[in-house]
Amino acid sequence: MISNGGTYIMTVTVESYRISDTVSRFLSRPRQLLINGRWVDAASGKTFEVVNPATGETVGRVAEGEREDIERAVRAAREAFEDSPWTKMTPSERGRLLWRLADLLEQNLDEFAELETIDNGKPISVARFADVPLAVDLFRYMAGWATKIEGNTIPISVPYAPGAEFLSYTLREPVGVVGQIIPWNFPLLMAAWKLGPALATGCTVVLKPAEQTPLSALRLGELILEAGYPDGVVNIVTGFGETAGAALASHPDVDKVAFTGSTEVGKLIVKAAGESNLKKVTLELGGKSPNIVLKDADLDLAIPGAANAIFFNHGQCCCAGSRLYIHKQIFDDVIDGVAKYAQKIRVGHGLDPKTQMGPLVSHDQLTRVCEYLQSGLSEGAKAVAGGKRIGDTGYFVEPTVLVNTRHDMKVVQEEIFGPVVTAMPFEDPEEITPVANDTVYGLAAAVWTRDISKGHRLARRLKAGSVWVNCYNIFDAALPFGGYKQSGWGREMGHAALDLYTEVKAVTVQL
């Protein structure tokens, strides 16, 4: 038990825990890169360490891929795309392969959940119930699409060819070799969001996992081979952003890059794409999502809802409900409820089945979040729950609720990506929409109200790719997800994602 400055007690159990034999075996030797269907060392022979954020200890090593490895991986993906069993595969076969991958993942659910917890820090219960099943479901959803990627037949008029007859139709063809760069907050799920539509449409892939969390993608690589994907269809290069990631984004033979991460790096990706070959770019970037509690909200729903909106995944969610706007008349009740909720969260080692919140992913992330806390408190914000780091082992931060915040504070403007919510009262619901929209981001937003018309009306006015009414963090493989403004380009999941992995070809035949 660690005392939190005397205000309350939080249970933290960073004690010894046992890693299963299966995972121990996986971690017992450096994991290699997957290139052209084979596991290989990095060209340089270098490896880097994998750290468990609950303890700060090194738990394994993985190959450090760089430009030369990206080069090899892109070559393999190009060959697989141009001339391989993959190009001859029927849509039905592609669908069955994806379904098989989903089955294999499901059969190894416990192992994946454990890997995710050790690598990212998240509670194993969450990895078991959310991360892994959502990845399985995404692959199954996309498997169904493989046979349903259709063009149109289009009647045309051609005013300058009177009397001529034509048959015009469109084909949807895979966009080609895709570079996929993913973050560390949902390592397996982000890999699934990216791989699913690419494999359903017939693209080939070079996937670069985040350097903080390479493990589950590498294990998934083994399942991809086991499922029977032809060599070179999926290549996985672990490594750092500035080297491996940058080489992928600027590679002249990559047809599209799909990125999830910070808005800052998103801009670098766009630049690299522009300066190399103008490859297609899709981006899923940061957020600072408003969560609005109206006067008539059902507080039994809204209070835990507002708490989960920010504290789920330790606030390391691009769509975290990090700006809480509460009607003046209920402000104290809601804040009191959310603060109490925050104080009851069991923070601890992710492998402890009772843990509800684990550590932040890395020492860097811990430093970043603590700097934001400092900044907010020094500008006059008050922490009614939390406000600082927990202990000095691992990267734990107290679930924090800040009040006395102003719109111009850094903590209200910038993405913190930690368990920190800023709260502000409002009076007129008409006035809150422009405030909620006054951000460079536009990923998500939520409204809590018993008045359904008001809920729908606000949903129309909020500039965000996802709007939740009387709920938060509801995701589904069938629902498009992505951002307005600087939260990104394009959408993930749903059939919207497929459009971004295909090119449209218009074919016209004179009859």
Biggest CA-to-CA distance, the chain: 87
Residues 6 or more apart from 237 whose CB is under 8 A from it?
Answer: 33, 34, 35, 65, 69, 70, 73, 206, 207, 208, 244, 248
Name the DSSP letter for residue 404.
S
- For 242, the token pair is 């500035």
SS3 261: coil
Residue with the shortest CB distance to ligand NAI: 241
Q: Alpha helices of 175-286 — where are they, by DSSP H?
A: 187-201, 215-227, 246-249, 263-276
Q: How far is the CB of 241 from ligand NAI (least distance, A)?
A: 2
* Residue closer to ligand NAI (CB basis): 90 or 277: 277
* Residue closer to ligand NAI (CB basis): 64 or 114: 64
- For 229, the token pair is 């994907």
SS3 295: coil
φ/ψ (deg, to 5) at 500: -85, -5
Laid out side by side, the sheet with 382-385 consists of: 382-385, 400-403, 420-426, 323-327, 290-293, 444-448, 466-469
d(CA 477, CA 457): 26
Q: What is the CA angle 80-503-492, rounded to 5? A: 90
Q: How far is the CB of 248 from ligand NAI (least distance, A)?
A: 7
- Count of Cβ atoms closer than 10 Å to residue 505 Cβ: 11
Single out the residue of 173, 433, 394 nearest to residue 290, CA to CA: 433
Q: How far is the CB of 486 from ligand NAI (least distance, A)?
A: 11
Q: Note the residues at the interface with ligand NAI (CB under 6 A).
A: 181-185, 208, 210-211, 240-242, 245-246, 249, 260-262, 265, 268-269, 284-286, 318, 368, 415, 417
Q: How far is the CB of 275 from ligand NAI (least distance, A)?
A: 12
* Residue closer to ligand NAI (CB basis): 64 or 398: 64
Q: How far is the CB of 363 from ligand NAI (least distance, A)?
A: 12
Q: How far is the CB of 287 from ligand NAI (least distance, A)?
A: 7
d(CA 324, CA 347): 22
Q: How far is the CB of 467 from ligand NAI (least distance, A)?
A: 18
* Residue closer to ligand NAI (CB basis): 334 or 373: 373
Q: Which residue has the tokens 């992505």?
A: 482
* Residue closer to ligand NAI (CB basis): 181 or 302: 181
Name the DSSP letter for residue 277.
T
- For 160, the token pair is 């300058």
Q: How far is the CB of 31 from ligand NAI (least distance, A)?
A: 16
* Residue closer to ligand NAI (CB basis): 234 or 303: 234
Q: How far is the CB of 331 from ligand NAI (least distance, A)?
A: 27
CB environment 331-366: b (16+ within 10 A), e (fewer): beebbebbbebbbebebbbbbbeebbbbbbbbeebb
- For 472, the token pair is 């938060």
d(CA 252, CA 233): 18
d(CA 275, CA 477): 33
Residue 392: CA count within 13 A, CB half-sphere = 0
* Residue closer to ligand NAI (CB basis): 105 or 182: 182
- Catalytic (active-site) positions: 284, 318
Q: How far is the CB of 308 from ligand NAI (least distance, A)?
A: 17
d(CA 408, CA 396): 27
* Residue closer to ligand NAI (CB basis): 211 or 231: 211
Residue 451 burial class via C-beta count within 10 angstroms: exposed 0-12, middle 13-18, buried 19 and up: middle
* Residue closer to ligand NAI (CB basis): 376 or 429: 376
* Residue closer to ligand NAI (CB basis): 172 or 208: 208
Residue 417: CA count within 13 A, CB half-sphere = 20
